[in-house]
Amino acid sequence: MKVSVVIPVHNGERYLAEAIESILSQTFRDFELLIVDDGSTDGSRAVMERYARQDARIRILCQANRGVSAAGNRGLAEARGEWVARLDADDLFLPEKLERQLAFVRRYPDVRIAGTLGHFINGAGRFIGLVSTDGPFTRAQFEAMTARGEPVFFVHSSTLMHRETVLAVGGYREQFVQAEDVDLWLRMAERGHLLLKMPEPLLLYRLHGASLTMSRNAEQKLQHRWVMACAAARRKGREEPSLAGFLGSERRRPWPVRLHALRQESGERFYQKAALYYAGGNYPALAACLCLAAFLNPGHVLPRLYARKVAPAVERRLPGTVHARIAVTGEKGVCRHATGA
């Protein structure tokens, strides 16, 4: 069961070597690595070529700068593996990622996308905390989410995707510049394909200054809302709104609704910035960002603070809890979660 790993790269020189090394260090060895150079103007190409000379499993695909969706589609089209693993150029696979994901999809052959949990790291590679622990981990959870019209959210770099299935639904749609992954997963779920998350961290997901600007966050949230509007239109049998049509409807929203959305999005971003300051040991900035985040979006921040800091501390002191069993026995319980039991 061969795997193709696809890394789209546009000016990713700073972290690219680390990303490649994390793939070459996999315990599963039967893979090819496709690095799609999306018109880089920095030293990314030299990094790719250096590794390609050393390992015949690495192929470099070059194109003019057309965006991450087009680069992802190029990788899918050129891939030779039955399964495709996606990795952003600033993230890292843990060594057993491919091996454990392949064991998962062999055991549960209906799964068409298998994601994982992950650890946040900062630019220097310091651990920050767990990426969101939301599911679905079981078929029952997945079916409940799709019945409610809720999207499945994966960290893109965590996913192992069945190539033919992804191509059959049309791959990435390039108009969704920063939400092409959510759009793909929604369309796959609508066609009845099973998408599950493995409840163990197998990815290091990097947060750094370039990925956390407010303007980038606002654009990404806008793209996500457009994707969700398109999905809602499909469910009602209507034509999907164009970007211009969607932006018109956004402008017609009452200003209290727009202000509320802005507060929520800003709170989420300040919460992520707080994580970076925590990893860097800048505790005054951490405190300021946490206070702002909790003020702007308490519904997002307070449950996460409780789940990450308070609940684990309490459960570690209570015998018989999940956290206590893992701490004592090392029990992880990965594949059993996919049965719906």
| Mean pLDDT value across the chain | 87
Are 333 and 325 in contact by the 8 Å Cβ rule? The answer is no
Q: How far apart are CA 4 and CA 164, in angstroms?
A: 12
* Residue 176 tokens, joined: 């969704």
pLDDT per position as a tens digit, 298-320: 998 888 887 776 655 555 555 54
Q: How far apart are CA 216 and CA 213, in angstroms?
A: 5
What domains sit in the chain, N to C, each tagged with a CATH number?
A: 3-211 (3.90.550.10), 213-252 (no CATH), 268-341 (no CATH)
Strand pairing category for 160-162 and 83-86: antiparallel
Alpha helices in the chain (DSSP H): 13-24, 44-54, 68-78, 97-107, 139-147, 163-168, 180-190, 214-235, 243-251, 255-279, 283-296, 298-305, 311-315, 322-329
pLDDT per position as a tens digit, 160-201: 999 999 999 999 999 998 899 999 999 999 999 999 999 999
Q: Which amino acid is residue 327, in one-letter code?
A: A
40, pLDDT greater than 80: yes
Cβ atoms < 10 Å from Cβ of 322: 11
Q: How far apart are CA 10 and CA 34, in angstroms?
A: 14
Q: What is the pTM of this model?
A: 0.84
Instruction: Give the C-alpha distances (Å, rounded to integers) separating 279 from 78, 83, 122, 171, 207.
Output: 38, 34, 7, 36, 10
Q: How far apart are CA 11 and CA 141, in angstroms?
A: 38
Are 201 and 117 in contact by the 8 Å Cβ rule? The answer is yes
336 pLDDT band, cuts 50/70/90, is very low
Are 95 and 27 in contact by the 8 Å Cβ rule? The answer is yes
Alpha helices in 25-159 (DSSP H): 44-54, 68-78, 97-107, 139-147
Least confident of 68-82, 224-238, 262-276: 262-276
Q: Tell me, what's the pLDDT at 244?
A: 94
pLDDT per position as a tens digit, 143-161: 999 988 888 899 999 999 9
76, pLDDT greater than 70: yes
Q: Tell me, what's the pLDDT at 338?
A: 37
Q: Tell me, what's the pLDDT at 42?
A: 96
Q: Tell me, what's the pLDDT at 89?
A: 96
Q: How far apart are CA 1 and CA 52, in angstroms?
A: 23
Residues 6+ apart with CB under 8 A from 12: 19, 40, 42, 44, 89, 90
Q: How far apart are CA 260 and CA 333, in angstroms?
A: 39
Q: Is 340 left (phi over 0), alpha (psi -120 to 50) or beta?
A: left
DSSP 240: P
CA nearest to 7, candidates 56, 53, 45: 45
